[in-house]
Chain A
Amino acid sequence: MPVRAAEERVDDFKEVACGFSLEDALHECARCLECPNPACVAGCPVGIDIPGFIVKMEEKDYRGAYDILSDSNLLPAICGRVCPQENQCEGVCPVGETLEPVAIGRLERWLGDEAIKNNWNTLPHIEPVRHKVGVVGSGPAGLACAADLAKAGCDVTIYEALHKPGGVLRYGIPEFRLPNDVVDAEIANITRLGVTIECNTLVGRLFTIEQMRDEMGFDAVFIGTGAGAPNFMNIPGETLNGVLSANEMLTRCNLMMAGKFPDFDTPMHMGRQVAVIGAGNTAMDAMRVALRIGAEKVHCVYRRTEAESPARLEELHHAQEEGIEFHWLTAPVEILDDGAGNVRAMRCLRMELGEPDDSGRRRPVPIEGSEFEFETDMVVYAIGTKANPILGQTSKLGLNKWGYIDANETLATSIAGVYAGGDIVTGAATVILAMGAGRRAARSIKTYLGIRDSEAKYRSEQVGCAGTLFGIDLGERNFSPIRLAG
């Protein structure tokens, strides 16, 4: 796929990857073997009928292809851009055994973008079922869950703490990878299904999960609050000015538009020599944002090697192209003061790889006597996140020992009628895994509420037949609302 040249793109927030042209897309479709037992579908956490939409594209029925795609995924333009496809759908595609695998993600993005451009939206016939469901958090997990429940006829309200919806899609992933317009357009697909999104609502403080169920009339609740709380390392110098979390930097830039300060009020003072600790997606984003808002030089400091970097391959390459300097096998042990409360440098250790640890990766061990000073005036932590404590503190939800919400295989929590999924259950993962969890929870909630049509496909040709809905006899539907146990 064409990308903008590194020299050109490092000064702005416009998208780096330009997307397929129609010719590219059709050429790519032709490479698909249309496997009768497609590995890619199993590899996609939301089970998109990939050969199905590819066939429609080859028939030049792009609208039909989009309908198949959006059956399973209402955020295709987003997922096509940010999914780590190499580990999912594309990773298992047999074409990849000898050649490049079919570029499923890019095809998905192409269709998603076409849909936005042409304002395609296929509204399913929705039969209201008198159930009210509350969703906490408007990240991919919450959005996916809300969409499925709305399609099943529930009256769904999403509560979001920030003033704009989208979760990490909004505040975390920068515009040069995922433009805000795309996020807005695909979230609109969800509100079009009748879902209400209430921003500025911090659940746990404004009202509790128990109140949603007992006082506000919600028959079921889904929690998709993500794993937003940033980790620090607990080394000396961490509260100096110039030390911050990647989340803070990204939020200031993506949600609050600090790059446009002073037209927007939120500042993001950028250092000259910026050191980002960590080498995952968040680190890549933080580094590339730093570069774009005025850092002279950006360094990546990681205690393992490039091979262990958890970032999406494409992002790592883009970061390298943009001139980020990588310091593998390097671990900071102290951040040093300039005497006025600001960062002057970091003290670091060189590492070497030892025996494999629990995660199967070789454990980095410090090389004795290798301490050195690393000059920097800004240190950004991108070393992972943990569960946000607010819901745990304000409800009786059962948590695991790391503070994540305990949920069983149906994603039910310890409170009847309350389900949870996404990063708040698994720890930081991916957009599409969060969406998969949202859809799984929606299925469980439908079963819990006694809604029959939980696996129905929403095809335009099936809408509007008298007497049946999605192939199910209307008379057969079980509407009896379940009363919730204490």
Chain B
Amino acid sequence: MSDFQIIDRQDFSDTTFLLEVCHPAMARAARPGQFVIALVDEHGERIPLTIADFDRDKGTITLVVQAVGKTTRQMQQTCQTGSALYGLVGPMGAPSHVADVGKVVCVGGGLGVAPVFPQARAFKENGAYVIGVVGFRSKDLIFWEDKFRSCCDELIICTDDGSAGIKGLVTDGLKSAIEHHEDVDEVVAIGPPVMMKACAETTRPHGIRTMVSLNPIMVDGTGMCGGCRVRVGGEMKFACVDGPDFDGHTVDFDDLMNRLRRFTEDERAAMERWNENCKRLEQAGQTTGTV
């Protein structure tokens, strides 16, 4: 298991892309809510990515990545069909609880759209009534609409500019879902911390159980470093073993957001260096005629 072949890649926008990676054992083991840690090359950083889909017959898992910094941009350039990842470990984290829920709203925004899909599908398979709420900036950035439609009884698409679905944030979609259905048992919200916090605040007055998937900075993902610790209900939890799913009404999101800024300076430096290297390579490529 030293070679993790990428067998498909799709680009959803100039920052978001999908990688389908061959790993039969992981495809068999993966459950909704779990994630992997990937390494692009030997000098790389270990970065966590949610398992956005898995195909047990094909023996593959699917990752949907948003290019936000050095590593994810490097992946955007180098992870092409036919290439391989240097490291891939998982599934990690505790699987989500999807049983015994009658009606559920699955909310995905930003890099949370893909990760919420396996949960929506699992709820559906467990017989729940599933309402999907997914947010995009505009119509041409929408992806996986068909996949969501196949497992959602209702799908609310929200766009920032109103070019598709309702104009507004996913919280608007969530509000509308709660207004139309008084009997929602559970809300699952995945996306940037601000979004998850807003969703938790939206449901708090209604007393609807709201699960969020936290994304703190991780290193090993096995419970060994404590870098991923988050404050939940006044207690310290390690997101990689106790989570990543937690009850959104008890999560200290401000603490999480502060901790996500731990390495801002270094991340910026790495990004600049990467951009410079890319530029240099491009120039060199132009003069020699190769890229």
A binding-site residues for B, Cβ under 8 Å: 161-163, 171, 198-202, 205-207, 228-230, 232, 234, 238-241, 244-245, 247-248, 251-252, 256-257, 261-267, 269, 341, 381, 388-390, 393
Contact with A along B65-79 (1 / 0, CB 8 A): 000001100000000
Contact check: which of A163, A266, A381 meets B87 at CB < 8 Å?
A163
With A206-B29, A230-B224, A238-B236 already in contact, the answer to whether A267 and B89 are too (CB < 8 A) is no
Contacts of B258 in A (CB 8 A): 239-241, 341
Q: How far is the CB of B51 from chain A (nearest CB, A)?
A: 11
Contact check: which of A202, A239, A251 meets B225 at CB < 8 Å?
A251
Contact check: which of B29, B39, B236 meets A207 at CB < 8 Å?
B29
Contacts of B266 in A (CB 8 A): 261-262, 267, 269
Q: Once the chains bind, are B269 and A262 in contact (CB under 8 Å)? A: yes
Contact with A along B243-273 (1 / 0, CB 8 A): 0000000000001001101110111011001
16 pairs, CB–CB < 8 Å, chain A vs chain B = A162-B222, A163-B39, A163-B86, A163-B89, A200-B87, A206-B90, A207-B25, A239-B236, A241-B259, A241-B261, A251-B224, A264-B43, A266-B46, A267-B263, A267-B267, A390-B222
A205–B266 Cα distance when bound, in Å, is: 32
User: Which of B1-45 touch A at CB < 8 Å?
Assistant: 1-2, 25-26, 29, 34, 39, 43-45
Contact check: which of B222, B229, B263 meets A202 at CB < 8 Å?
B222
What total of chain B residues lie within 8 Å of the partner, measured CB to CB? Answer: 48
Q: Once the chains bind, are A245 and B262 in contact (CB under 8 Å)? A: no
- Tell me which of B224, B229, B236, B270 has the highest count of chain A C-beta atoms within 10 A of its own C-beta: B224
Q: Once the chains bind, are A245 and B265 in contact (CB under 8 Å)? A: no
* 12 extra interface residue pairs, beta carbon distance < 8 Å, beyond A162-B220, A266-B219, A341-B259: A228-B223, A229-B224, A230-B224, A232-B236, A262-B270, A263-B43, A267-B270, A269-B263, A341-B258, A341-B261, A388-B222, A389-B223
For residue B101, CB closer than 8 A to chain A, the reply is: no
Q: How far is the CB of B76 from chain A (nearest CB, A)?
A: 15
Contacts of A267 in B (CB 8 A): 263, 266-267, 270
A238–B226 Cα distance when bound, in Å, is: 11
- Tell me which of A206, A252, A261, A341 has the highest count of chain B C-beta atoms within 10 A of its own C-beta: A206
Q: Once the chains bind, are B34 and A205 in contact (CB under 8 Å)? A: yes
B binding-site residues for A, Cβ under 8 Å: 1-2, 25-26, 29, 34, 39, 43-46, 70-71, 86-92, 94, 219-227, 229-231, 236, 238, 241, 255, 258-259, 261-263, 265-267, 269-270, 273
Contact check: which of A171, A202, A266 meets B92 at CB < 8 Å?
A202
Closest B residue, CB atoms, query A263: B43
